Amino acid sequence: QVQLLESGGGLVQTGGSLRLSCAASGRLFGTYTMAWFRQVPGKERTFVAGRNWDGRRILYADSVKGRFSISRNNANNTVDLQMNSLKPEDTAVYYCAAERFSVVDMRERSYTIWGQGTQVTVSS
């Protein structure tokens, strides 16, 4: 079974930047649609960004458009989320999600493979 591992979370001040990485096990990464979600305790998990396996479709949540960027690192078999101009409202646990041979979808139920999450905290 494909496994996902997020890294790169941490504490940053308002206006700062972080780069999250999602590493996929094995060598099937290229066939997967990849997405980032985030969740605040007590609230629902929401879509942040995603791209299909060949990069032909990329989606962003309105709340992060222009600040966040999703990209693929073919050499390292990762999908990264560059987060700039961070705000306290971005504080959440960020999860990587994947679905094989799928198109990009903002719906949580469209993804069946999930990482464990990485904490991002933005101080005011």
Residue in 54, 34, 7 with CA at minimum distance from that of residue 98: 34
The pLDDT, as a whole number, for residue 29 is: 58
* 9: pLDDT strictly greater than 60: yes
What is the per-residue pLDDT for 86? 98
Pair of tokens at residue 37: 């979600």
Is residue 26 scored above 70 in pLDDT?
no
pLDDT in tens, 53-101: 788 899 999 999 999 999 988 788 889 999 999 999 999 999 999 998 7
Residue-level pLDDT at 73: 84
Asked whether the predicted pLDDT for residue 32 surpasses 90, the reply is no
- Given this model, what pLDDT does residue 13 score? 98
